[in-house]
Structures are given as C-alpha cells and as structure tokens.
Amino acid sequence: MRPPQWEGPPVWVHGDLHPANVVVSDGTLSGIVDFGAMCVGDPAWDLAAAWVLLPAGTASRFFDMYAHADEAAIRRARGLAVMKSLFLMFMGQNGDRGLPGGKPNWGPVGRAALDRVLKGV
C-alpha cells in the first residue's frame, strides 16, 4: 500500500499550503505566504494542495497539467492531503471549543477537503 519514496532531484517546497497560507483576489490565486516550513523535499507536500485548496472536481485536471506528477507522487500527495485535512478539522474543533489557537472556520474547510480526497475528486 505504501507508495515509493521520492527519488527525484531535490526541489523546493512550501511545505504548508492550506487556505490560511494563500492569498486570493477576485477568485484568483494572487500570492502565497508563510514560508516557515519551506524546505527541500518531496513535491508531494505541495501537490497535496490539489485537494486542500482547489474546488471539487479539479484535482485530476491539476495533475494532468502538472508534468512531474506520476502515480507514486499522487499517492503520496493524497496521503498528505488526508493529514492536512485532519489538521484543519482539529484546529476547527479547537476553535469551536474556544481553545487557544483554535480556528472555528477551519473545520468545515478540512471536512470538505477530506471529502474530496476520499472521493478522489
């Protein structure tokens, strides 16, 4: 079940792409912020954004257009998208409970992302 590890050349990855780290203007991506997790590593960390950030039904088109996303990279990205979705849900739950650092509006975003990952859309 485990996909092969990344064996490609080193690439820079943002490492923490989620809705709070992108800037959107009039429905168009206009910037990315918070480069604290930036590192050299597996591009699957950023490819996971296909499920976490993009609308339902667009992940497959994204991967079709991304020249370096083979099946193993997509499988790794899918697993990382599940992790990121659960993190968003956890932060949303903390916000609902009034806990420090919680973000109540992140829960629905995480649930929607997890739904897209599990449905493969």
Nearest to 64 by CA among 50, 53, 49: 50
Q: Is residue 4 a part of any domain in this protein?
A: no
> Quick check: is 16 in a domain?
yes
CB distance 33 to 14 below 8 Å: no
- Count up the domains in the chain and report the number: 1
Q: What is the predicted pLDDT for the residue at 84?
A: 95
What is the per-residue pLDDT for 66? 83
Q: Tell me which amino acid residue 100 is.
A: P
Q: For residue 2, is it within any domain?
A: no
In a domain, 63, yes or no: yes
Q: How confident is the model at residue 65 (pLDDT cuts 50, 70, 90)?
A: confident
Q: Which residues span the domain enclosing 21?
A: 11-119
* Confidence bin at 110 (pLDDT 50/70/90): very high
User: Rounded distance, CA 121 to CA 113, Å?
Assistant: 10
- Residue 71: give its domain's CATH number: 3.90.1200.10
**Chain segment 12-42, per-residue pLDDT in tens:** 999 999 888 999 999 888 999 999 999 999 9
H/E segment holding residue 87: helix 71-96
